[in-house]
Structure 1
């Protein structure tokens, strides 16, 4: 039996669902390659994850907030005494969350 096409999602519901997502989904995921506003996936199975990968959250915090720990502008990577960090400082995560609240 052929499958009938689904009804289009109302804009109100689409906006509500997007608001319920982690704000890090606004940037692409460097780990799994998920596009902005799409969920992260397991590369091995393609299964969607309920939460974004840590690298994606770190990228989101870097692009969203200035770091109170090392005093860098939004977009610049955090550093420890001049040595670049792979992730951002914990205080920068807090700053990014407060920005989006």
Structure 2
């Protein structure tokens, strides 16, 4: 047993971001496909093997929550709309929204 104090100060967000620089930015949201928590890698559901890239559903959720859509003019968190104003099928987002999300995180 040691008498050294244990430091448990939270890590500053800037430092945390630098340490995660090699990861895909979509890991900042939970994965709806495999259930991986935020900042954890996606896994195969049957074997539990970690994947090098996030599931497409996770990337879609990340784009939806971080970027405005330049094509249908919706705010972050709102699903993309088709030309007639209905929500896109299967919670899809426009390709331009992916580009906007990547520019936002850079």
Q: TM-score, normalised by structure 2?
A: 0.79
Alpha carbons of structure 1 residues 15 and 98: separation in structure 2 relative to 1, 3 Å: closer
Aligned residues: 90
Coordinate RMSD, CA, aligned: 1.7
CA distance in 2, matches of 1:47, 1:15: 25
Q: Runs in 1 of length 4+ with deviation above 4 angstroms?
A: 14-17
Q: Deviations over 1:15-61 (max 9, x none)?
A: 65411100000000000000000000010110000000000000000
Secondary structure of 1:79's aligned partner: coil
| 1:87 CA displacement | 1.2
| Deviations 1:35-92, CA, capped at 9 Å, x for gaps | 0000000101100000000000000000000000110001100010222122110000
Mind listing any 5+ residue stretches in structure 2 that lack a counterpart? 1-10
Partner in structure 1 of residue 30 of structure 2 = 28
1:82 is aligned to: 85
> 5+ unaligned residues in a row in structure 1: which ranges?
1-10
